[in-house]
Structure formats: structure tokens, C-alpha cells
Amino acid sequence: MIQPKRLFDAVAHQLQFFPKPDMLVAKTDGAWKPVSTKEVQNTVNRLSAGLLSLGISGNDHTVEGADKIAIISNNRPEWIITDLAVQQTGAILVPLYPTTNPIELQFILNDAAVKYIFVSNAELCEKVKGLMKDIPSLQNIYTFDEVPGADHWTKVTDLANEDLLARVVALTPTISEEHVATIIYTSGTTGTPKGVMLTHKNIVSNVYHSKESFPFPDAPQTRVLSFLPLNHIFEKMCTYIYLFSGISIYYAESMDKIGDNLKEVKPDGFTTVPRLLEKVYEKIMSKGHELTGIKRGLFFWAVALGKRYNNNISGGWWYNLQLSIANKLIFSKWRDALGNRISYIVTGGAACQENLLRIFTAARIPVYEGYGPTENSPVISVNRRDKTENTRFGTTGPVITGQEVKLTEEGEILVKGPSVMKGYYKRQDLTDETVKDGWLYTGDIGTFVDGKFLKITDRKKELFKTSGGKYVAPQPIENKCKESPFIEQIMVIGSERKFVAALIVPSISRLKQWMGQNNIPFTTAEEAIKNKEVLAMFEKVVEKYNALFNHVEQIKKFELLPKEWGVDTGEMTPKLSLKRKAIMEKYKDVVEKIYAA
């Protein structure tokens, strides 16, 4: 089988080898509605033809000359159809998070000189309309939902005719694998968004190297649930793995409906980020704390067994027998909640708590951690599901096929290979700083465990130095502290300060339970975090984890905060990583209180 070279070749590839009645599936009016491979092909071609009618062009197939089209939408079949159709014209897709704030949105649309934008609903349509007067390149907005006063996206497909469809057929073979397929603006934690230019070759090479390494065999009888934002390269690249592997893609209705959708779809796998896994685990543990008597005892006995699980070292016949019983009595209910067919979960975007990896895998819900930045399309390494010796908890696994990795003296991870980006759009200065002699400087600090497994220890930019001159890596401390059921979120601070401290968001549901068990009245979260007994309890929690770190890394003081950090409130990036600078600014008075004499 000849390996396809462009992303849009996925449709013809699937049509040739495993045409499906349910290539893409979404819920409409309460029912799951499948779209077949043939239907996708027809719609993609008609949308490409309609875009050509609107004057969209790849021109000379250079990134400067190609037209740009943006998309802001939840995950749905129309998202992928638009992506494929834009590619076939030689134009470049600029995907954006629905939560992108108006200032960043305006900057990106102007920076890319976007001509047309596709949005999912009325709210996003109004959001873009309010900016149009300040975006001279933007000619029209098309909506996927029917929105009064706006042009539905079918107005573009309706422009297709035989001549235009023939132009599409003639045009697609001329589009090179070196052509830029997308510009993804990284939200980052500071500064102006940067447009990462990724070519067809960048992404397709990562698709096939990941397919081979993980591995993802061709499996047309399987299905996945998609809910991570498609404008993030992790979910987009995995989507093309599914398309080239013949795996059906079901789109979750919303983040709130993931639990229901898992039970309905019964997927074989999905991709996620650690924060969502943490929320699933917290929900399970919260229910466990509500149990009484023998049921409660069995629940926490099973969890304790899970925490001891090691896929590389047998626990012996007695441990294995107990784990088998725990799987039958307790963990089977966990699997039922996820649809009872999960054979893999791939997590990335941030470091995952080792405890979660152990417990879920012990419960026969295997979680595989991987790693890679947007600039590498993205995967550099991933734990494997083919052999247990190729998986190591607490690491991001072996480097995948096709990637060359080395570490600088400071431990920064450098990668070279076909998936390294073309560069930052209109920012040659930043490109030159980031890619040198073909090596991508990731900005992440890591090490190799046993010479094989890549372990990320921190972000280079997140390392800070105390006023005593000692370097501190916050992520390992934060991940260890989040193992406590009482800590929902935490940010370790201390740059240019005398000691390390932390801002902690408690798990209010767990705290409420604990207060009830200790006959402490709960009124509001704001009042609870001021309670002397609550503060004393958190002192003990922090001290427990402090014992695992060097003196300079230990949290000397902390402040509890009453409200969870989120994307909408500005403390988290859309991929649910901490916006450290934004949190420091928002809570500067709290930080100053911590360090007051």
C-alpha cells in the first residue's frame, strides 16, 4: 500500500480500502446521525468547488500567496469537511478556539488576512460580526447551525457545478506535500499568539509514524469519541490517524455530555488531557466517599491495589488474585461508565499524575501518556500498547519512529524529523530562535529513563529561581500535590522570592464531605477556606507531600482560593494548562500577602 502524501487523501484512501457507512457521526435532535465515506467525499468536493467560485485560491501554492480561511466551531462532521475542502483548494485553514478572547481573535484574523470564516452557532457568529469592521480582509461569515440573518454554509456548497467540480479534480494533484495545510496559532501562557505553519508532509508523517509506533492498526470495525478541541494539533492529528485507519469518529455533544456519550457510543478509545482524567477520577472518588460499610471498604481496598500496580513488574500471585477480584467487584463499574469497550486512552498536553496511570490501567482502562509540541505536529514520544516493556508509568514513552531526539546540557529536548514545522508565520526571527540546523528547540526539560523512556520534568519557561539562587521546577510538585483528594488545582510560586509557596484551589465537594464528617458546618466555600480546622488539615496535606521534595522545593506557605480556575475566567489555556502569568496578576494581592513579613 502506497502511503498517502496529503491530508485530504484520507477520504480517497478510506473509500478505496474501507468505505464506511459511519465515517463521521454526530448527535442531531437526540439521535446519532452517521455520514458515510461517500457522502463526506461528495460534500467535501462540493464545498471545495463552492470556495473556488468565491475566488478562493492557493495561487502559486506559497504560504504568502495562498488564501486563508478560518474556523471556530465545536467538534462536528462539518469541521473536518471544511478542513478537507479548504486543503483541496490550496488555501490554508486557520483554526481557532471558540473561547478565544476578542482581542486575540481580531489579531489572528488580521495577521492571517482571513477572507472567510466558518462558525458553528449564533453566539460565535455575533462574536465575529462585532469585529468585522476592524478586519478589512474578512468578506463573510458562514454558519453550520441555521442562524437568522447569517449565511448557512450550504450556500457555499450550492455554488458547485460540473465545471467547478472538474476544476477541483484537476487542482488536487498539483498540491504538494510541502504545501502549508494549516496555520495553528498557539494560545500560549504569555505574549502575542504565534502562527505555527504545518505542511501536509509535517502532519501526514506524524500520522503514519504514530500509527506504526503506538500502534494504530487499520480497524474499520472500531470507533472513537472525539471531544478535545479539533483546532489543537493533538486532536487534529489523531483525527487523521482515525481517517487513514478506517476508525469511525463520533463527536461528543459537549464537555458536559461526555459521560453520557461514552455510555451511548461505547468507543474503543479516545484522546484526552490530564485535567479531564483528573475530573473523572475525582468524580469516582467523590462517589466512593459517599459509600458506607463494606461497600466503602471494598472500594478503597481496590483503589489502594490500583495505586500499587506496575505493568513492568508482577505483584505476585496473591496481588494478582486480589486485583482480579477488585476488577470484578469494583473496577467493572468504572469500565461500564466508559462504555465497557475502552482498549486505549491517549493523554497528552501536560504531565499526567502517575497515580492515575496506575489506577486506570489496573482497572483495565489502559491510559498511555505521550508528548509533543504543536511545532512538531505534534508527537515526539508515546507509551506503547503493543508490548508492556514499551510502557513506563511516569514517562511519555519511547521516541516514535521518524524522530531524532537529543538533550542539551541543560536538559532541553531537541527534535529533528519530517514533522518539524515549516516555521512561525511572518516571524522569521522567532523561527530562527526555535529551529536551528533542523533541530526544534522545544522549550521542555526532560531526561531519558533507562536510556529509552522520555520523561518531561518541566517547561524551561516555567522553571524559576528563588532569591537564594536555587532553581525550582513547579510541575512535579504540583502533580504530586494533586494526588490529594482535597486539592483540585494548585500553582507553585516563588520566582525571585525567599521561599516556595502555593496557591491552592480545594476540591469543594471533598472538603464539604470532610467537614460534615468532622461536625464542622459548611456554609460557603469562601467561609470554609478561612476555617482554622480546615487550614490545619491542609497544613498536614502539604506537609505530607513536602517530605518528598528537597528543602528548597518544599511549600513553606500557601493560600486557599474558593473558586476553580477555568478557561472562561482566564486562568487556564483552552488545553487546560495553567496560565501562570494571568494567575499571578489576578491574585497579586494574595501573593503579596503570602510573602509579607
SS3 of residue 176 by DSSP: coil
Check pLDDT > 90 for residue 438: yes
> Is position 187 within any domain?
no
Percent pLDDT > 90 in the chain is: 83
> Is position 189 within any domain?
no
pLDDT at 189: 44
> Is position 424 within any domain?
no
Q: What CA–CA distance (Å, rounded) separates 102 from 267?
A: 36
Query: How does DSSP assign 336-359, residue by residue?
Result: HHTTS---EEEE-SSPPPHHHHHH
Residue 508: which domain range? 464-595
- Model pLDDT for residues 239-252, shown as the tens digit of each residue: 999 999 999 999 99
Q: Answer for the pair 400, 378: CB distance below 8 angstroms, yes or no.
A: no
> Is position 97 within any domain?
yes
For residues 13 and 32, state if they share a domain. Answer: yes
For residues 376 and 513, state if they share a domain. Answer: no
> Is position 198 within any domain?
no
- Model pLDDT for residues 70-117, shown as the tens digit of each residue: 999 999 999 999 999 999 999 999 999 998 889 889 999 999 999 999
Pairing of strands 248-251, 24-28: parallel
> Could you tell me which of 252, 302, 311, 247 has the C-alpha nearest to residue 79?
252
For residues 409 and 468, state if they share a domain. Answer: no
> Is position 423 within any domain?
no
For residues 314 and 351, state if they share a domain. Answer: yes
| 26 φ, ψ (degrees, to nearest 5) | -135, 160
Q: Supply the CATH number for residue 118's domain.
A: 3.40.50.12780
For residues 243 and 275, state if they share a domain. Answer: no
pTM confidence score? 0.86
For residues 257 and 297, state if they share a domain. Answer: no
Q: Supply the CATH number for residue 567's domain.
A: 3.30.300.30
For residues 362 and 219, state if they share a domain. Answer: no
pLDDT at 116: 98
For residues 21 and 148, state if they share a domain. Answer: yes
For residues 68 and 146, state if they share a domain. Answer: yes
Check pLDDT > 60 for residue 56: yes
For residues 122 and 62, state if they share a domain. Answer: yes
> Is position 247 within any domain?
yes
For residues 16 and 94, state if they share a domain. Answer: yes
Number of domains within the chain: 3
Q: Is the dihedral of CA 235, 239, 240, 241 positive or negative?
A: positive
Q: What CA–CA distance (Å, rounded) separates 340 from 360?
A: 13
Q: Supply the CATH number for residue 324's domain.
A: 2.30.38.10
> Is position 451 within any domain?
yes
Helices (H), 222-370: 233-245, 258-265, 274-290, 293-307, 316-326, 332-337, 354-362
For residues 455 and 469, state if they share a domain. Answer: no
